[in-house]
Amino acid sequence: MPQALRNTLLSFRDVLATAGPFILITVVLLAIAYWVLDPTPPRKVVLATGVEQGAYAEFGRRYAEILKTHGITVELRNTQGAAENLQLLRDPDSGVDLAFVQGGADAERPGEAPEEDLVSLGSLFYEPLWVFYREDSAQRLIKAPLVNGLSQLHGWKINFGAPGSGVPNLMARLIDANRIDPAALTQMKMTQTPAVVALLEGQIDAVALASAPESVMVQMLLQTPGIKLLDVAQADAYSRRFSFLTPVMLPRGVVDLASDLPSTDVHLIAPTASLVARESTHPALIQLFLQAAQKVHGGAGWFQRKGDFPNARGDERPLAAEAQRYYRNGPPYLQRYLPFWLGNLIDRMWVALASIIVILIPLSRVIPPLYEFRIRSRVFRWYGQLRAVENAMGRRPGDELSRELDDIEHKVERVSVPLSYADELYALRSHIDMVRRKLSGASAPAEG
């Protein structure tokens, strides 16, 4: 091995050996910080949506596509709706991490404090209550072509939705507010698709749905001849009575401008849908879902202007801390320019990194003196033996001391130090020569 390369490797070894404990402390502190902060989110998450043809299912598919680009697999779990979603979130063994929840879906528990283990990611979109009815049923039951309010539904056969959806509870509250005896209605509990089929076939008079307009069933019923949408003229009054309801307007022609559907503005009442998560959900996942929500729900729609959603207003549950941060500051700065995994890692670790650096800076000042001591000790350790030889002159035979000096000199020749410390090595060799000359001078008179 060339001498220059050998010296370089030896110098590197010295630096590594000196800084080894410092590096070990750094690695241990980083490992502890990583373990405590857990900056990397799980690669799989379960999202409870709704019925297969509903808006929740459609939005769930969009979320899954967006998060897939960040390496997160979103497993979609179809349910009957918001009430079942809440049950799954409350069940620790369900495996569900997040779910779409309709405002007022949990209103059967009035007066109770929100459960502490569930948090909201904010409001996502209006979820209007659509009451579609057959025009011929209105003619037969109320002798009029149009229904003007829920109070006219006495004697109707209506599908309120399957247990587990948010509609049955919502309709029960509205029916009670209109002082309608539930026994005066024939309440059906079919799932969405069979209910719509039954409505089209005339087996029932009306069907109540709570869904975003993106729902396939809503889109289809709005354009079906003979099917009318109930105009809730008292929408403002309902919103005053129920805090989770918002009056919204379905503008004339928004469904089909060419066909002028609907032919008039239609008043509706709308709960606000939100995304609810377990409190233990990883903050990075919440951040990703909020960024996805901005892409999915941030545009203009039938009931909102661009930028209205998502927002932190009007939710029934406490807002997650990461959601508060998002609505206050937007996406983390680094995630706007770096890949998600790297931006997220730096964003969640920088405080720990700064603290570690503050701890390590004073410790790092010890390294140069330790390195210097390590190198110089290779030279200075021989001075002890050299002094012992010098002190033994006159007390021990000269030839024996000469052999010890030769042995010391031979071993010193194999000592390697960085060039910056070569002067001390040469000084040691000169001192060995000086002692050898002194020994020779002391031995000559004795021999004479």
> pLDDT (tens digit, 9 = 90+) per residue, 68-109?
998 899 999 999 888 899 999 999 999 999 999 988 777 444
Give the alpha-carbon dihedral of 222, 214, 178, 143, to 10 degrees: 10
The whole-chain average pLDDT of the chain stands at: 84
CA separation for the pair 389, 437 (Å, rounded): 12
DSSP state of 421: G
Residue 270's pLDDT is 93
Q: Is 233 among the domain residues? A: no
List the one residue out of 171, 175, 153, 154 whose CA is nearest residue 162: 171
Which residues lie below 8 Å from residue 95, measured CB to CB, with a gap of 6+? 46
pLDDT value, residue 111: 42
- Amino acid, single-letter form, for residue 79: T
Structure tokens at 436: 């050898």
Closest CA to 271 of 121, 160, 153, 107: 107
Q: Is residue 380 part of a domain?
A: yes
Q: In this structure, what token pair is assigned to residue 79?
A: 């349910």
Looking at the DSSP bridge assignments, the partners of residue 248 are: 268
How far apart CA 126 and CA 103 sit, in angstroms, is 9
- Which residues on adjacent β-strands are paired with residue 270? 246
Report the C-alpha gap between 165 and 80 in whole angstroms.
5
**Residue range(s) defining the domain that contains residue 398:** 3-28+350-442
Answer yes or no: is 382 within a domain.
yes
Rg (CA), the chain: 40
Closest CA to 99 of 71, 127, 125, 120: 120
First to last CA, the chain: 49
- The number of distinct structural domains making up the chain is 1
In a domain, 397, yes or no: yes
189-199 per-position pLDDT tens digit: 998 889 999 99
CB atoms within 10 A of CB 247: 17
Q: Note whether residue 414 is domain-resident.
A: yes
How large is the average pLDDT for residues 291-297?
A: 94
Domain membership of residue 7 (yes or no) is yes
pLDDT score for 36: 65
pTM for the model: 0.67
Does a structural domain hold residue 402? yes
Q: How confident is the model at residue 112 (pLDDT cuts 50, 70, 90)?
A: very low
pLDDT the model gives residue 18:
64
Helical axes 367-391 vs 3-37, angle rounded to 10°: 140
Quick one: pLDDT at residue 113? 46
Task: Give the strand pairing for 118-126 and 98-102.
Answer: unpaired
Report if residue 428 sits inside a domain. Answer: yes
